[in-house]
Structures are given as structure tokens and as C-alpha cells.
């Protein structure tokens, strides 16, 4: 096992009442268990953490687009808002959530933060997601993306959706809980943002925003407020260690210093940032500032192994420096730093006694040996979701040998395909 308890290549893990009770590196002496999993030849890692996702995004995979947008704001205004988010109902939300949970579980993601925006599906949209996440047995932090882009009435209903969901689900010891969420400066007034911030602070649940995913928000803030976006947020008292800022593609060095001062947490999406033409985030600078940076899928590619590989490679090419963002750091971003990004580092992210029993067993298919010296590079640079053998969440096996234990995968796939076809036909 490595010094930070992120990889166990030989040994035994005992989980009692959902919590890691004992870890023995070599011998099973003294370990008692009601159920024993034979993991001979396997490698144990912590459950992977996706710090930012849009499960409904699965419905857009392969969706035909005429006259594709050429800018990030154009992508939102001309495609994503009118053709995807504004057309989502609870039927679409349920089908995409179930399929996304299958894909996440089978590829080793045990915890995720999901952001839903479906202005015509509230109230109750988050509950539709939550029931399926609970059925899947995954650990989900769910929120509704509140904004004023669809008018004042929807804006208030979106805040109410978060509030109602948090009050209902955060009182239980379930795997699912809620947090507050808003969109951006160009879809929210500062007054609206302050209202959301006050709710998050009062409820002590944290708050999630999209930040400078495209250059449009930077330009908008400079034109309207004469300040960079992070400076605007600081000026209204929005920043804090409970803030999760996703994307941060166009965030400037002086903004990073402000975020460092306030202990802001970050979610990095290397693949989706490329897909929408948003740009390449200053990941090296974010890490050097000591910020907690997790990885996210953003509803694009669900397999966190692909996201890890992208984070490992893209910045090397962009900066023309093969030494930046080493595999060990990337693996940390997908595990313990992802847990920090969600404010859950005391519960998940590493294989340690007292933490939740979220464990992924890999059956590596590498053509060369996996050793203590190369484990990170083998897993990050060459691993895939297909290497996942068993997925355990809070001591419960949710996937084993490529099959879900909690959800009927074939039914989920069939339903998602049917819903997507109808969704596309009604464009």
C-alpha cells in the first residue's frame, strides 16, 4: 500500500457497518467478516470521485446538430438550453440517471456531484434523480442549477427545489444528499447569487457554480462590473471554503490568488472543455496554489479512467512539458482531492480505517507488470473502466465482474435508447 493509502496491491480490507474496520497488508489474521470476496490477483483502490457531472447529458450523446455552434456561449444559447435542458421532463431525467449510474458504477465511480437543470421539470426533478441513485447504491451529491435565464418565477422555483431537496434528504443517513447550486454571472444577478449564498450558509451544505468555462463570462464581468468574475464574487461575499467552482478554464492568475485566500475548491473537466471549445484550464497554476482540485466528467464521457488520462496528457501537450501533472497527482485528483472538492475528505477518497467502505477492485489487463513503482502511471496512463472487477459502496457490492448488482443494465440501456430516440425526434 502506498503511503497515502490509495492503492493496495496485496492484503485484506475488513468493512463493518459500511465503514473500513481494519486493513492488513499481508495477513488476514484477526480479520473477521460475514462475507469474503476473493480478490486474488486484484488491486484495490478507493472508489473514484466525479466532482462535477450532468447525468442528463447522456441524452445528448450522438444527438444530430445542424449548424454546430462555434463558440461556448453559442453552444449554450443555440443548442444546450433550448434543445436539451428546456425540454427535459422527469421521464428523460429518470432514464438518463439510471443509465449514467450503470456506466459510472461499472467503471469504478462510487461518488459523484451532479448538477441538474431542467426548468420545466420542477418541482420534484431532484427527487426523480435521487430515487434512482439510491437504487443504484451510489453516493450522490445532487443539486439543481439555479439561474435567472428563464425568468424570475423559474429562478425562485429553482432555489426552492434545492432548498426542499436539502431539507428532505440531508436529514437522513442515506448515500444521497443535496447542496446549493447556481450557474454563472451572466445568468444570475448579484442579488440572486447573494440569496443563494445565504441559503447555503444557513443550511451549511456548500454551494456549486460554473466559473469561466468560456471566455464569455470573463468578458461579460469586465464589461458589466469592471472586474474579473472571481473579483465580483469576492465583492459580494460569495467565496468561501464551502464553494465548489467548476471549470475555471479562463481563470486568471490574480483570480487564483483570490480563490486560494478563500479556500475555494475546484472541479476540472479536461475532456468536456475540449468538446465545447471552451479551452484548456490553468491546472498547473491551480495545483501550485495549493487548491483542492478534483476531476469531473461534465456529462460527456462517464469513464473516469478516460478523464484521468486526459488530465495526464492534455496539459503536457498544451504546456509542452512532459513533467507537469504527473500520474500520482492525477490519481489523487480522482480520489482524495475529489473528496476534498466535495467536502467529504473525512469520509471517502482513501483506503483508511474509519472511512466509508468505498472500494474498487481492479483486474488489470496491462501487458507489462504492475509494480509499486509504476502503479500510478499504469492505472492513469493505460487503465480503462474495463479493468474494474468489483465496486463496493459503503460495504455493499454494487457491481461485480462487469455486471451491475443493483440495476438491470439491459433494461436501463433499452429505456435510455428509447427515450433518447423520442427526445431527438421531437427536436
Cα separation, 191 vs 205, whole angstroms: 20
Which residues, 6+ apart, have CB-to-CB distance to 357 below 8 Å?
A: 13, 15, 18, 19, 20, 392, 393, 394, 395
Helices 90-106 and 125-136: crossing angle in degrees, nearest 10, is 30
Q: Pick from 147, 91, 137: which is nearest to 115 by CA?
A: 147
pLDDT at 34: 66
Query: 44-73 b/e with 16+ CB inside 10 Å = b?
Result: bbbbbbbbbbbbbbbbbeeeeeeeebeebb
> What are the b/e assignments for 202-229, b being 16+ CB within 10 Å?
ebebbbbbbbbbbebbbebbeeeeeebb
Domains and CATH numbers, the chain: 12-46+355-394 (2.30.40.10), 48-341 (3.20.20.140)
What the block records as the C-alpha cell of 291 is 487548491
| pLDDT tens for each residue of the chain, 427 residues long | 444 457 887 788 999 999 999 888 766 666 776 678 888 889 999 999 999 999 999 999 999 888 888 888 999 999 999 999 999 999 999 999 999 999 999 999 999 999 999 999 999 999 999 999 999 999 999 999 999 999 999 999 999 999 999 999 999 888 999 999 999 999 999 999 999 999 999 999 999 999 999 999 999 999 999 999 999 999 999 999 999 999 999 999 999 999 999 999 999 999 999 988 899 999 999 999 999 999 999 999 999 999 999 999 999 999 999 999 999 999 999 999 999 999 999 999 999 999 999 999 999 889 999 998 999 999 999 999 999 999 999 999 999 998 999 999 999 999 999 999 999 997 7
Q: Which pTM does this prediction carry?
A: 0.96
Amino acid at each position: 500500500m502506498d503511503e497515502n493509502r490509495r492503492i493496495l496491491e496485496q492484503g485484506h480490507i475488513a468493512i463493518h457497518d459500511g465503514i473500513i474496520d481494519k486493513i492488513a497488508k499481508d495477513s488476514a489474521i484477526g480479520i473477521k467478516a460475514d462475507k469474503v470476496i476473493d480478490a486474488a490477483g486484484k488491486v484495490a483502490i478507493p472508489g473514484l470521485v466525479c466532482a462535477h457531472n450532468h447525468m442528463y447529458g447522456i441524452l445528448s450523446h450522438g444527438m444530430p446538430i445542424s449548424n454546430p455552434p462555434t463558440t461556448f456561449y453559442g453552444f449554450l444559447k443555440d443548442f444546450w438550453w433550448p434543445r436539451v435542458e428546456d425540454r427535459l421532463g422527469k421521464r428523460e431525467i429518470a432514464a438518463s440517471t439510471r443509465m449514467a449510474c450503470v456506466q459510472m458504477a461499472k467503471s469504478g465511480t462510487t461518488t459523484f456531484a451532479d448538477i441538474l437543470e431542467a426548468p420545466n421539470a420542477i418541482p420534484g426533478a431532484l427527487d426523480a434523480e435521487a430515487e434512482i441513485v439510491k437504487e443504484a447504491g451510489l453516493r450522490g451529491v445532487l443539486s439543481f442549477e439555479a439561474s435567472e435565464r428563464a425568468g424570475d418565477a423559474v429562478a425562485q422555483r429553482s432555489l426552492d427545489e434545492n432548498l426542499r431537496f436539502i431539507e428532505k434528504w440531508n436529514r437522513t443517513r442515506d448515500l444521497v444528499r443535496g447542496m446549493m447550486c447556481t450557474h454563472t454571472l451572466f445568468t444570475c444577478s448579484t442579488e440572486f447569487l447573494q440569496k443563494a449564498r445565504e441559503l447555503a450558509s444557513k443550511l451549511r451544505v456548500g454551494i456549486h457554480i460554473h466559473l469561466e468555462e468560456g471566455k464569455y463570462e470573463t468578458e461579460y464581468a469586465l464589461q458589466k462590473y469592471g472586474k474579473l468574475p472571481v473579483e465580483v464574487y469576492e465583492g459580494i461575499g460569495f467565496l468561501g471554503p464551502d464553494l465548489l467552482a467548476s471549470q475555471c478554464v479562463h481563470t486568471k492568475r490574480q483570480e487564483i490568488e483570490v480563490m486560494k485566500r478563500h479556500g475555494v475548491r475546484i472541479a476540472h473537466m479536461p475532456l468536456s472543455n475540449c468538446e465545447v471549445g471552451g479551452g484548456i484550464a490553468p491546472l498547473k497554476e491551480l495545483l501550485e496554489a495549493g487548491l483542492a482540485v478534483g476531476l469531473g466528467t461534465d456529462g460527456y464521457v462517464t469513464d473516469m479512467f478516460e478523464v484521468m488520462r486526459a488530465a495526464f496528457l492534455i496539459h503536457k501537450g498544451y504546456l509542452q512539458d512532459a513533467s507537469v501533472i504527473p500520474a500520482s497527482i492525477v490519481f489523487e485528483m480522482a480520489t482524495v482531492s475529489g473528496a476534498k472538492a466535495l467536502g467529504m475528505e473525512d469520509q471517502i477518497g482513501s483506503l483508511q480505517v474509519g472511512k466509508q467502505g468505498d472500494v474498487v477492485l481492479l483486474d488489470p489487463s496491462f501487458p507489462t507488470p504492475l509494480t509499486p513503482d509504476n502503479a500510478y502511471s499504469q492505472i492513469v496512463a493505460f487503465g480503462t473502466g474495463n479493468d474494474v472487477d468489483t465496486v463496493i459502496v459503503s460495504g455493499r457490492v454494487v457491481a461485480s465482474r462487469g455486471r451491475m448488482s443493483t440495476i438491470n443494465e439491459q433494461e436501463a440501456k433499452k429505456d435510455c435508447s428509447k427515450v433518447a430516440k423520442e427526445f431527438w425526434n421531437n427536436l
